[in-house]
Structure 1
Amino acid sequence: MSSTKYTLDRIEDGYAIFLKYPDELDQVIISVAAIDKPIQAGDRVLIEEIGDAFHIEILKEETVQKKAEIQSLMEKLRRKNNHHDS
């Protein structure tokens, strides 16, 4: 049994699609009904497979840090695009 980091890419048709961190090549699909905590796209999580079940731990600090990095990149892109318009 080992724990692996994933990022929640999206929730679609009642399933959560997680992409393996950091390469995002492998994915795990888990029914939302089987997840006992609120999750949202962009959350970084640790998933441990225990028999037929999954234990999901939300890595709050990493999620906040990742969202802050994305926000910073979006601001830079907006400034760059606004600069081109003038």
Structure 2
Amino acid sequence: MSLSKYTLDRIEDGYAVFLKFPAEEEQLIISQSAINKAVQVGDRVQIEEKNGIYHIEILQEETQQKKADIQSLMNRLRNKNN
């Protein structure tokens, strides 16, 4: 498996559901026991599978930028309603 970027969409019943970046239409579902580090919903990550273990690198800058963009959008929506 080559390196690919994903966003962690949700964790359900012991499985992490990642959406492939940027279209976020393709899902990658991984058992939490096969993930090499703790990830949080909304994290943008780079994933590589080696010998049945998924090696995940959290892309801190991209994750923070995405969270800032979402917060900005939420603020604009709140202000629009006032």
TM-score range, shorter chain: over 0.9
Task: Give the Å deviation of 1:53.
Answer: 2.3
Specify which structure has the higher proportion of helix.
Answer: 1
Q: 1:6-85, aligned counterparts within 5 Å?
A: 6-82=6-82
Q: What are structure 2's unaligned runs of at least 5 residues?
A: none
CA RMSD of aligned residues (A): 1.1
**TM-score in terms of structure 1 length:** 0.88
Does 46-55 or 5-14 show the bigger shift?
46-55
**Greater Rg over alpha carbons, structure:** 1
Task: Give the Å deviation of 1:52.
Answer: 2.4
Q: What are structure 1's unaligned runs of at least 5 residues?
A: none
Contact 2:35 2:53 in 1 (8 A): no
**TM-score in terms of structure 2 length:** 0.92
Percent of aligned positions that are identical: 68
Cα distance in 1 for partners of 2:2, 2:45 equals 13
For 1:48, give the aligned amino acid.
E
Cα distance in 1 for partners of 2:25, 2:40 equals 20
